[in-house]
Structure 1
Amino acid sequence: MENENRNEFKFGFTPGAENWNGRLAMIGFVAALIIELVSGQGVLHFWGLM
């Protein structure tokens, strides 16, 4: 019964955490591309940081 604790929350570099990290990074990258295409300026300029 090794899989009994698979839903248990764990800290660190677990496969589940890395999957979510990759998914959120892909969403952020696509969002930055859409902002650049729609506004015609980079994300940092769009937010007024540069």
Structure 2
Amino acid sequence: MIEPTEIPQRRLPRYGFHGHTEKLNGRMAMLGFIALLIVEFKLGHGLLNW
């Protein structure tokens, strides 16, 4: 049996639900939540109150 000379490389998809994009999205959400808490603490009241 002849062995292949090139090993195929797995290419990451450019869109959709994938592990690396979900981790990035989660990290950005955590940063946004912490930033909102800091702003509310500095203002002394909730930012989302009308």
TM-score by length of 1: 0.68
Gaps of 5+ in 1: none
- Identity over aligned residues, as a percent? 40
Matched AA of 1:9: R
Counterpart of 2:34?
Answer: 30
Compute the RMSD of aligned alpha carbons.
1.5
User: Whose helix fraction is larger, Structure 1's or Structure 2's?
Assistant: 1
How many residues are aligned here? 43
Gaps of 5+ in 2: 1-7
Runs (4+) of structure 1 moved beyond 3 Å?
none
